[in-house]
Amino acid sequence: MPKHATGPKQFAGITMMLAFLFFALLPIIWALILAFRPRDRLFEPIWESPFALTLDNFNALLRSEFPFALFNSFVTAGTATILALIIGIPAGFALAKGRSQRKFIASWALLLLRMAPPVGFVIPLFLIYLNIGFLDTWAGLIAAYMVLTLPLVVWSTWTSFSQIPDELIEAALLDGASLFQALVKVVIPAARPGIVAAAVLAFLLAWNDFFFALIITRGDTITAPVAVMNFVSYASVEWGGIALASIVLTLPTVPVIIVANKYIVQSMGGAVKG
């Protein structure tokens, strides 16, 4: 009887999951179709002309500045993530294990920075960059991305480090290790799932940024999300180019998420057990 009862429930659950999966993948499937369709048949049903395919959108994408913008996105998002980890990991460790009375103030400051909309930062940053010559530079864009990535890394690592027993750190200190050595050799390996999850989320946050890059960059440091706008003009909209660019923009994040999936799941369940 229980087997017969669980059968329909499992079938219904699998059916709902497949339906939600198809719903989530539908925009990607549609973008793939648009990427290979000729301009005069973009919105024609695929079953009416299934073999009307073209590579013109790929050639147009390669001739555009999108590959250069994609390189800029890799450099700026990757550097901002690395710098956020270098600064954020010690800061998260200090907040998690420090005995300062100001940790409460620091936590709320981090939370406000994390929740504040980018428009609250971009105007002051633009005026500062205008005066110091940081507009349209990698350094300026990376510094702007730090506004997004650093609070996320500090907050995430703070949570992960808080789950590490103090006895592990004290044992390392008793064995003659310095506080920095205890952080590198004990704390970071123990909290690796949370650190990897924070790094992935920080990279995706910088990679997908549009607003900061739109205001701060011009031609030399334009990023891929902003470069997609070049397919839109007053005269026409290159829907095939937009679809292909969006797919290319998504592809680099897929292996990152696949590799880090195990660590993200572990960080949700707790970096350290016991």
Could you report the per-residue pLDDT of 147-172, keeping only the tens digit for each?
889 999 998 898 889 888 989 898 98
**Contact of 263 with 191, CB cutoff 8 Å:** no
Other CB atoms closer than 10 Å to residue 223's CB: what's the count?
A: 29
- Please say if the pLDDT value at position 234 is more than 60: yes
Residue-by-residue DSSP string for 36-99: HS-GGGTTS-TTTSTT---SHHHHHHHHSSHHHHHHHHHHHHHHHHHHHHHHHHHHHHHHHH--
pLDDT at 267: 59
Could you report the per-residue pLDDT of 63-117, keeping only the tens digit for each?
889 999 999 999 999 999 999 999 999 999 988 888 777 777 777 777 777 777 8
Could you report the per-residue pLDDT of 39-67, keeping only the tens digit for each?
888 778 777 787 888 888 888 888 889 99
pLDDT at 263: 67
pLDDT at 69: 94
Torsion region of 53: left, alpha or beta (phi above 0 gives left; psi -120 to 50 gives alpha): beta
Break the chain into its structural domains and give their ranges: 2-41, 60-269
Alpha-carbon gap, residue 193 to 35, rounded angstroms: 37
**Contact of 89 with 189, CB cutoff 8 Å:** no
pLDDT at 266: 62
Mean pLDDT score across all residues of the chain:
85
pLDDT at 274: 40
pLDDT at 57: 86
Could you report the per-residue pLDDT of 173-225, keeping only the tens digit for each?
898 888 899 999 999 998 988 899 899 999 999 999 999 999 999 888 999 99
Give the CATH number of domain 60-269. Answer: 1.10.3720.10
- Name beta bridge partners: 232: 237
pLDDT at 143: 93
The H-assigned helical ranges of 98-174 are 103-115, 119-132, 138-162, 166-174
pLDDT at 33: 87
